[in-house]
Amino acid sequence: MALIAAVISLILLEYYVFMMLVGMARGKSGIQAPQMTGDPKLERAIRVQMNTLEQMVVVIPCLWLFGTYISTTIGAGLGVAFIIGRALYCKGYMADPNKRAIGFVIGFLATLGLLGGAVYGTVMAAL
Amino acid sequence: MALIAAVISLILLEYYVFMMLVGMARGKSGIQAPQMTGDPKLERAIRVQMNTLEQMVVVIPCLWLFGTYISTTIGAGLGVAFIIGRALYCKGYMADPNKRAIGFVIGFLATLGLLGGAVYGTVMAAL
Amino acid sequence: MALIAAVISLILLEYYVFMMLVGMARGKSGIQAPQMTGDPKLERAIRVQMNTLEQMVVVIPCLWLFGTYISTTIGAGLGVAFIIGRALYCKGYMADPNKRAIGFVIGFLATLGLLGGAVYGTVMAAL
């Protein structure tokens, strides 16, 4: 499971970088908390972080369950695909919200694979 | 723990459906990202997803800890109650924000039970 | 790992309190869901909860991995520092958004320590 654990750590590290991008975008925009809108760069950075968080809460438990009940190597591979998809999503979204699609789809398919495997593996094991 | 793992997977699956409802509501509304407001159906779908996420980050670790330190069957039962509560919450909220109360309360009580058991079980084990 | 599990439970309990502060602030403000803005106290309570959630999704898996691959006592200590930092952050932010810095920094450093240890420990174990 060390392979799965390492991939989980790297996903958390990537997300941490996205959190820092929000802090930097807020600093540049001059917008004071708790205001969350008013500058397109800040709004995009917030959406990259939040959208990653929204998927990460699925991906991390699923990675662990996929690794436990299906396969550590396939699970780790899907986890790495998620990391790459999210990096492309961030790069695309920050340049132009319309360029976020490719990275989104890669991350989405990786999430779907991990979720499908986790549901199948755990339900089969519980029955 | 396979029973707990299966319930966790099903919670993640339910949340995944809520994420897709947001995507569908965004598509229908014609509102472009990163804008998150402007259409009541989209705003409600976003609130269902976000409110579920906000509780899920408590429920999933607590389910695991409850299963480890208290009981897998009671934990799984509370997890299933959470899934049912969230389904009613989604159905109610999408119809009318004032109809979200019953589902919310069921999910809230399940979360409270899981959290109480997790705190009690882990603190007792650590002492 | 019972020590790590107990600290995780206490973080979840603290976050649960922050969720209830949002509900109470909403009640006092008279603002109906799904509206999330319009009252400074409500907006601050929402930001305390959301910002804690955003960090908690890193802290909880990292605590587990840090405890498994590095040290349970150091991990638990960093987790307790996170809990204290978040309590100060909440107290400061609710009084005045400009008073959130000290608590934020304590929580941020604890998160950074847990993340650094989790990445190092898991990558070393996986190689």
Catalogue all structural domains in chain C, each as residue range(s) with its CATH number.
Answer: 2-28+39-126 (1.20.120.550)
Mean pLDDT of chain A: 94
pLDDT of A117 > 90? The answer is yes
Nearest to C48 by CA among C6, C89, C84, C95: C89
Q: What pLDDT sits at residue C84? A: 98
How far is CA C35 from its chain centroid?
Answer: 24
pLDDT in tens, B10-51: 999 999 999 999 999 999 998 887 788 888 899 999 999 999
The first and second tokens of residue A22, run together, are 């929000």
pTM of this structure: 0.93
**Measured in Å, how far apart are chain B's first and last C-alpha atoms?**
24
Neighbours of chain C (3+ CB pairs under 8 A): A, B
A120 touches chain C (CB under 8 A): no
C36: confidence class by pLDDT, cuts 50, 70, 90? confident
A34–C126: do the CB atoms touch at under 8 Å? Answer: no
Query: What average pLDDT does this structure show over B89-98?
Result: 92
Q: Cβ contact (<8 Å) for B62 and C5?
A: no
Task: Give the mean model confidence (pLDDT) for residues C40-63.
Answer: 94
pLDDT > 90: percent of chain A: 85
Distance, CA of B50 to CA of C50 (rounded, Å): 10
How sure is the predictor about C38, in pLDDT bands with cuts at 50, 70 and 90?
confident
Question: Quick count: other Cβ atoms within 10 Å of Cβ B95?
Answer: 11
Cα separation, A74 vs A4, in Å, equals 10
Is the bond preceding A34 in cis, omega lying within 30 degrees of 0? yes
How far is A89 from chain C, CA to nearest CA, in Å? 19
At residue B33, the pLDDT reads 75
Which of A3, A4, A9 should be substituted to probe chain C, the one whose Cβ sees the most C Cβ atoms within 10 Å? A9
CB-closest option in B97, B111, B122 to C32: B97
Confidence band of C34 (pLDDT split at 50, 70, 90): confident
Indicate if the pLDDT at residue C86 is higher than 80. Answer: yes
- Tell whether the model's pLDDT for residue C16 goes beyond 90: yes
Between CA B39 and CA C88 the distance in angstroms is 37
CA distance B125 to chain C (A): 6
- Model pLDDT, residue C18: 96
Cβ distance B20 to A62 under 8 Å? no
Is C33 a residue whose pLDDT tops 90? no
